[in-house]
Amino acid sequence: MGWRPVDRLRLGIGERVDKTFARVAFKERRTDRATARDPDLIERLERLSAFYDDADAAGRLFPAPPEIAPRTDQVKEGRAVEVLDLSWPTPYTPLHADYAEALARCPETRQARARWFRRPPPSPAILCLHGWGGGQYAIEERAFPTRWLNQIGFDVVLPVTPFHALRRGRQAGMPAFPSPDPVRSNEGFAQAILELRSLIRMLRRRGAPHVGVMGMSLGGFTSALLATVEPELDFCVPMIPFASLPVMMWSKGEQRPARRAAVESGLTLEVYSRPFKATTPLERALKIDPARVLIAAGERDVITPSQYAQDLHRHFAGSAMVTFPGSHLIQIGRREVFVALARMTAGLGILPPR
């Protein structure tokens, strides 16, 4: 494809913005160095691996979702689209004492939240899952083309991930979830999945004939994980996802003191990855038809390189994949992703043909 000089400039700027964000988001913390030097680190990882593998096998990590009755506050009334804010107590019960303690320190994350751009029913719904550090409604309704999605026929729902936006309390810096710590990450994802599954059932009770999911970055990973847990999901679009949290964390830590200290203690990527297995999409099978999965990657993405999306595409054999020329944060050319979404959902009979 031929690009004008200004387009090439914007693409280059996008890569630089990604690199700057990555330096801040993945900055090494003192707690990381202390953990890496823990003489019992490998033994702890092995214990957590067994703990979460057993919880997954027994159905305790991803239990059946309960019905919810959210509090509903009207933000905007309109004939075409009504905007509603939803909130409800999380149905998730911590499995590990460390995660119970994390929730106790941040009670805001015990309250699940979502904003619903509701068309006249019955309309299919799309859950749009934000990235790491996101979840602010005013930003997310622009990060996802909410108005356009409404216009082509979708209800749009913007859930807030645990420990983000309205659910993060007074916490400073980047959100506490996801984390290099397997307890915080496994149970944060388990909590997010349970809340999403309960939300899907509520939307169906209130008239949505189909419910699917699209996510960006962290949201892309979460949407892929959801598709390995929820059999009643009608479609799934992971956009600029990572496919394995420990692989991404390991790669970002290269040449850093904590990583070197951990390796000197005998830690390998294989050992570090084991406790995350139960919440890693690459280690799980789809619960939905792969023809209902569309994976999207940015060709100049530095934060979650396109290789991650390709790995997910290969693992979800039979899924579709689309790329756009831009980066993670400056998504030049991303229109193709949303065109492909509209085309796929029309082909599945979820939206009328355009």
Instruction: Map residue 42 onto helix, strand or coil.
Output: helix
Mean pLDDT score of the chain: 91
pLDDT tier, 34 (very low <50, low <70, confident <90, very high otherwise): very low
pLDDT computed for residue 262 by the predictor? 73
Instruction: Map residue 118 onto helix, strand or coil.
Output: strand
pTM: 0.93
CA distance linking residue 199 with residue 99, whole number of Å: 22
Mean pLDDT of 133-141: 96
pLDDT computed for residue 15 by the predictor? 77
Residue type, 149: L
Mean pLDDT of 105-129: 97
pLDDT computed for residue 9 by the predictor? 61
Yes or no: say if 240 and 216 are a contact pair by the CB < 8 Å rule: yes
Confidence check: pLDDT of 56 > 90: yes
Mean pLDDT of 114-143: 96
Confidence check: pLDDT of 257 > 90: no
Tens-digit pLDDT profile for residues 213-227: 999 999 999 999 999
Residue type, 231: P
Yes or no: say if 207 and 264 are a contact pair by the CB < 8 Å rule: no
Mean pLDDT of 46-66: 98
Nearest CA-CA partner of 25 in 159, 214, 218, 187: 218
CA distance linking residue 260 with residue 253, whole number of Å: 9
Mean pLDDT of 232-239: 98
DSSP states of 316-335: STT-EEEEESS-SSS-TTTH
Mean pLDDT of 97-119: 97
pLDDT computed for residue 321 by the predictor? 98
**Other beta carbons less than 10 A from residue 266's beta carbon:** 9
Confidence check: pLDDT of 76 > 50: yes
Instruction: Map residue 113 onto helix, strand or coil.
Output: strand
pLDDT computed for residue 195 by the predictor? 98
Residue type, 98: D
Q: Which residues contact 303 (CB under 8 A, 6 or more apart)?
A: 18, 21, 22, 25, 217, 240, 327, 328, 329
Confidence check: pLDDT of 232 > 50: yes
**Other beta carbons less than 10 A from residue 53's beta carbon:** 15
Strands (E), the chain: 71-76, 82-89, 111-118, 125-129, 155-159, 211-216, 236-239, 294-298, 320-324
Tens-digit pLDDT profile for residues 144-201: 999 999 999 999 999 999 999 999 988 777 888 999 899 999 999 999 999 999 999 9
Mean pLDDT of 64-70: 97
Yes or no: say if 213 and 223 are a contact pair by the CB < 8 Å rule: yes
pLDDT computed for residue 250 by the predictor? 87
pLDDT computed for residue 251 by the predictor? 86
> ∠121-124-126 over CA atoms, to 5°?
125
Tell me the domains of the chain and their CATH numbers: 5-62+91-105+121-129+172-347 (3.40.50)
Yes or no: say if 312 and 282 are a contact pair by the CB < 8 Å rule: yes
Q: How far is CA 276 from the centre of its chain?
A: 15
Q: How far is CA 295 from the centre of its chain?
A: 13
The residue with tokens 């355009």 is 354
Which tops the pLDDT comparison, 310 or 268?
A: 310
Confidence check: pLDDT of 1 > 60: no
Phi, psi of 55 (to 5 degrees): -65, -40
Tens-digit pLDDT profile for residues 267-303: 899 999 999 999 999 999 999 999 999 999 999 999 9
Q: Are strands 125-129 and 155-159 parallel, antiparallel or unpaired?
A: parallel
Start-to-end Cα distance in the chain: 26
Confidence check: pLDDT of 27 > 70: no
